[in-house]
């Protein structure tokens, strides 16, 4: 055994039995990796445990929990060249899905054992780290409504219920979006800036695919005139995301840039990686290749087929 790693485990994540899940992880990994196990508590979160592990100079860090746990650990590891292993056990598991990492404990552990890594980007929103996305307006309000108790009771449906409830109070706002080479002014119900996002994060899916290692961020503007239009726009984004094509509605726009400055009137709630952190204005930037993660090994011919099958990205701005 010549590999070692720190495992940061959140025992309150998801809906499974944490003792059984931890035992399963240990049974799979410990024959080949010496594990030092840290459990998160209400007093000591994943961010502090990860920073402690980084300061100790560990060979690798493995995070097991929901998206909040994974993002907190990723932030501490970013820029250190310490590889990060991901074992998702949360409600949405958006982090793993966006990165193409298996969501079962068995497959996630096998991914770590294979030892294949890839460097991916991270973002910063008002100097707060952003692994996945920042939601402004509708998405942030939906996140705020889907509290922990609802997520534990209903799982992913908590977000659906919160979204339906939020549709009843749908309001548009004026927004100004500044990039390094242009300024866009429009009205919107939702603005989402994504570094990485799974297809289920439909309000981020304006472009034909979100690339998490291109040094750029993807901004999607949704500006429906009515509640019926909001439902239609959301459904359209779900369809195009599933098909790998760009949105083609007049009330959906998208921009790709390395940084954005966003102001709104009136101020809107802002959610970063599923946590409401404040209100607009915001400045968001991309830091290329700052995070190294374990990913599934893919045969070269399979990878070539996948790359050849990707659609050409048509980037446009609809003002």
Express each pLDDT in 247-299 by its tens digit.
888 888 899 999 999 999 999 999 998 788 999 999 999 999 999 999 998 64
Under 8 Å between Cβ of 254 and 317: yes
As beta bridge partners, residue 123 has 130, 286
Dist CA 62 CA 69 (whole Å): 11
Residue 1: what pLDDT?
54
pLDDT beyond 80 at 67: yes
Residues in CB range of 92: below 8 A, 6 or more apart: 66, 67, 156, 159, 200, 274
Three-state secondary structure call for residue 243? helix
Residue 159: what pLDDT?
45
Indicate the helix (H) or strand (E) that contains 204. none
Q: What is the mean pLDDT of residues 31-40?
A: 96
Task: Please state the φ and ψ torsions of residue 36, each to the nearest 5 degrees.
Answer: -105, 120
Express each pLDDT in 162-210 by its tens digit.
444 545 556 789 999 999 999 999 999 889 999 998 877 777 888 877 8
Higher pLDDT residue, 147 or 50? 50
Residue 42: what pLDDT?
93
Q: What pLDDT band is residue 235 in, cutting at 50, 70 and 90?
A: confident
The DSSP secondary-structure symbol of 312 reads: P
Show me where the domains of the chain are located: 3-115, 128-288
Express each pLDDT in 75-102 by its tens digit.
999 999 999 999 999 877 888 988 889 9
Q: What is the mean pLDDT of residues 58-78?
A: 93
What's the topology of domain 128-288? Tumour Suppressor Smad4 (2.60.200)
Residues in CB range of 305: below 8 A, 6 or more apart: none
Q: Which CATH architecture has domain 3-115?
A: 3-Layer(aba) Sandwich (3.40)
Express each pLDDT in 20-33 by its tens digit.
999 999 999 999 99
The span from the first CA to the last CA of the chain, in angstroms, equals: 58
């Amino acid at each position: 055994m010549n590999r070692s790693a720190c495992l940061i485990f959140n025992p309150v994540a998801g809906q499974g039995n944490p003792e059984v899940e931890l035992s399963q992880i240990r049974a799979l990994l410990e024959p080949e990796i010496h594990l030092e196990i840290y459990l998160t508590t209400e007093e000591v979160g994943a961010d502090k445990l990860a920073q402690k592990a980084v300061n100790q100079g560990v060979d690798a860090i493995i995070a097991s929990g929901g998206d909040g746990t994974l993002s907190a650990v990723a932030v501490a590891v970013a820029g250190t060249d310490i590889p990060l292993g991901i074992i998702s056990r949360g409600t949405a598991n958006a982090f793993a899905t966006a990165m193409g990492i298996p969501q079962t404990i068995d497959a996630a552990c096998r991914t770590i054992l294979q030892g294949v890594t890839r460097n991916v980007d991270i973002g910063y929103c008002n100097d707060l780290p952003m692994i996945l996305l920042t939601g402004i307006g509708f998405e942030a309000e939906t996140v705020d409504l889907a509290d922990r108790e609802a997520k534990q009771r209903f799982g992913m449906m908590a977000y659906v219920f919160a979204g339906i409830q939020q549709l009843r109070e749908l309001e548009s706002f004026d927004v100004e979006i500044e990039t390094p080479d242009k300024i866009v002014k429009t009205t919107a119900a939702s603005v989402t800036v994504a570094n990485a996002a799974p297809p289920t994060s439909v309000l981020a899916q304006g472009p034909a695919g979100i690339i998490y290692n291109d040094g750029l961020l993807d901004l999607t503007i949704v500006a429906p005139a009515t509640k019926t239009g909001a439902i239609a726009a959301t459904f359209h984004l779900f369809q195009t995301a599933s098909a790998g094509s760009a949105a083609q509605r007049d009330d959906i726009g998208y921009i790709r840039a390395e940084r954005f400055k966003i102001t709104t009137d009136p101020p809107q709630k802002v959610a970063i990686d599923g946590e409401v952190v404040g209100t607009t204005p915001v400045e968001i930037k991309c830091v290329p290749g700052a995070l190294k993660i374990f990913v599934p090994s893919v045969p070269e011919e399979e990878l070539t087929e996948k790359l050849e099958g990707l659609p050409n990205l048509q980037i446009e701005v609809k003002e």
